[in-house]
Amino acid sequence: MSRPPGMLPADFTFADLAAFDSFIDVRSPGEFAEDHLPGAENFPVLDDAERAEVGTLHKQASAFEAKKIGAALVARNIAQHLDLQFHDKPRGWKPLIYCWRGGSRSGAMTHILKSIGWHATQLEGGYKSYRAVVRRDLDELPGRHAFRVICGRTGSGKSRLLEALAARGAQVLDLEQLAAHRGSVLGNLPDAPQPTQKIFDSLIWKALHGFDPARPVFVEAESKRVGVLRVPDALMERMRRSPCLRLDTARDARIELLREDYRHLIADRPLLEGKLERLVELHSRERIDGWKAQAAAEDWDGLVAELLDHHYDPAYEKSTARNYIQLGAARRIAVDDVSETALAALADRIQKTETG
């Protein structure tokens, strides 16, 4: 069957997206919140309540009744978008429009925008096609890139080093930043809920497409999960087989850094105690109560040192040695200072040695 004119094929490539000025997601806000094309804007032709109403009519009355009511709602919503959001778009505007399956919702919006004179294109298969492309690419993309895995015990400054590398133009895949999580039981970021798994996949997909395969990509050694999110299998496998750089950071510097990173927990003792309680399956009740007593006494340096010695360091060494096969041959880097200036200088040195 031939494809209608003005339709982007379902098996599109990332490069194809460069032809468009805007990505318009006409699904309901709830659908959009779960995932969407990176950079897409949500201009729903049916909101969540309207979509539920039309769906109920389809099941309980008939397809005809559902379409009759739905068409009126869609027409009113598109008219509102034309009045409020699209009125100032230039004649040469080229939006890509999609819904769930590339059906009537995106078809209606595309038809009206094209009738006005804009170069509107509908995505064949809609969001479902996009997800298939993301899954396809995440299986293949990691193999295109040469990764350099930054290893080091908790508090070594790995994330800050990635930030310094990125600021100096290095290619950096910061999975913890994309996942809004620091990768440990204490790792939730304050006031920053983790994205959905599908959004996490989309962010990784976009980042990998933006890298030059001729240059290395720096990434932190992670486990298969960052908080509740799973790192794509092909990426995880590629990382675990990649060359490593190991930060050997002074103990005092690690304690200082962790106190800074987890100051929101220091300021909220009930929250901290709740997170410590989650470790009860790994440590004795006596040890957990001891850590809580240190928190109650505001012995923060002592608490951090205890957590490093008895929880983080043993777990990290065991997990990293088992999963990153080139760790034994890692270039070891002594770090005595985790200040912004010192890590910037370290990033410059790494850039010179790892990128030539």
Positions annotated as catalytic residues are: 99
Helix, strand, coil percent content, the chain, rounded in steps of 5: 55, 15, 35
Q: Which residues pair with 181 in a beta bridge?
A: 188
User: Three-state SS for 109?
Assistant: helix
| Phi, psi dihedrals of residue 332, rounded to the nearest 5° | -95, 135
Q: Which residues pair with 230 in a beta bridge?
A: 225
Q: Which residues pair with 220 in a beta bridge?
A: 150
Cα angle 38, 40, 45 (rounded to 5 degrees) comes to 145
Tell me the C-alpha distance between 145 and 160, whole Å: 22
Tell me the C-alpha distance between 336 and 156, whole Å: 10
Tell me the C-alpha distance between 310 and 299, whole Å: 16
Tell me the C-alpha distance between 174 and 300, whole Å: 28
The contacts of residue 123 (CB under 8 Å, 6+ apart) are: 7, 8, 10, 12, 96, 97, 98, 102, 106, 129, 130
Q: What is the distance, to the nearest Å, from the Cα of residue 245 to the centroid of all Cα atoms in its chain? A: 23
The contacts of residue 186 (CB under 8 Å, 6+ apart) are: 262, 265, 272, 275
- For β-strands 95-98 and 147-152, DSSP reports them as unpaired
Tell me the C-alpha distance between 289 and 295, whole Å: 10
Instruction: Please say whether the beta carbons of 164 and 346 come within 8 A.
Output: yes
CA distances from 79 to 54, 149, 178, 294, 356 (A): 19, 51, 36, 61, 56
Which residue is associated with the tokens 């003005």? 6
Instruction: Please say whether the beta carbons of 96 and 8 come within 8 A.
Output: yes
What residue type is assigned to position 40 of the chain? A
